[in-house]
Structures are given as C-alpha cells and as structure tokens.
C-alpha cells in the first residue's frame, strides 16, 4: 500500500483528475496524467513503484500490472 500511495502522490503533482484511475483486465491505468508532462526523475521513481508508460487507445498513459490485481 505504501508504494501505491507514494506513486499517487507523485501523480498528484501533475494533475488532480476527478476520475483518476481505471482498472480492467488486471491493469490499473492512471487517467488524464500525460507522461510527457512528468519529469524524467519522477518517471524513474514511478517505474520503481510498479508503473510503466504504455499506449492505451492510441494515447500514452501510466499503467501498473502490480496494482491491477491481487
């Protein structure tokens, strides 16, 4: 839980969307946070916390297979 909270705090620096997450097929997707806006330092931290940059529906987004299912 600590790693998920830390990742969400990083994402909060880049926006506060009303519906920030979507979970489907064991993948947690962070909505409306553009990876291009996230610093390289934070991208490295997010990767260490279990989030990768992926392309979903033609747009890049952050996703986690670690937090998408149990």
Q: Convert 25-46 into a string of H (helix), E (strand) and C (coil).
A: CCEEEECCCCHHHCCHHHHHHH
Distance CA 2, CA 22 (A): 19
Distance CA 34, CA 15 (A): 9
- pLDDT of 70 reads 66
Q: What is the largest CA-CA distance in the chain?
A: 31
Q: How much is the pTM?
A: 0.92
pLDDT values of the chain reduced to their tens digit, one per residue, 70 residues: 999 999 999 999 999 999 999 999 899 999 999 999 999 999 999 999 999 999 977 899 999 999 987 6
- pLDDT of 62 reads 97
């Amino acid at each position: 839980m600590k790693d998920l909270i830390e990742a969400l705090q990083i994402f909060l620096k880049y926006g506060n969307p009303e519906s920030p997450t979507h979970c489907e097929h064991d993948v947690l997707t962070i909505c409306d946070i553009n990876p291009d806006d996230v610093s390289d330092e934070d991208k490295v931290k997010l990767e260490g916390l279990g989030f990768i940059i992926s392309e979903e529906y033609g747009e890049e987004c952050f996703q986690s297979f670690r937090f998408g299912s149990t």
